[in-house]
Amino acid sequence: MTEMILNARTFPEPIFRMIKTEKVKVHETGGEIRLIPVRESADYIDKLRGSLSTYPEMSVDKFLERKHADKELDL
């Protein structure tokens, strides 16, 4: 599994037009690639920074993976 966050403007125009956010999470699992729009807000970024300082041994990718899993459980 690979995961990264990219600027949506780096995608070709047809794909960029479909994305309504500045950032996109690119998630690859088993040969399948998913583009997930990332909605950023100052509050979210502050929470992210605070959570990362609480768990310094956790990588950013692992933290984002856990947050995404938590969000899916809330649906």
Task: Return the pLDDT at 32.
Answer: 92
Task: Return the pLDDT at 47.
Answer: 62
Q: Tell me the whole-structure pTM to 2 decimals.
A: 0.48
Task: Characterize 27-54 residue by residue with b for buried, 16 or more Cβ atoms within 10 angstroms of its Cβ, and e for exposed.
Answer: beeeeeeeeeebeeeeeeeeeeeeeeee
Name 53's Cβ contacts closer than 8 Å, sequence gap at least 6. Answer: none
* Tens-place pLDDT, residues 4-55: 888 888 999 998 888 888 888 888 888 899 998 887 665 566 566 665 555 5
Task: Return the pLDDT at 59.
Answer: 74
* Tens-place pLDDT, residues 49-69: 665 555 566 677 777 888 888
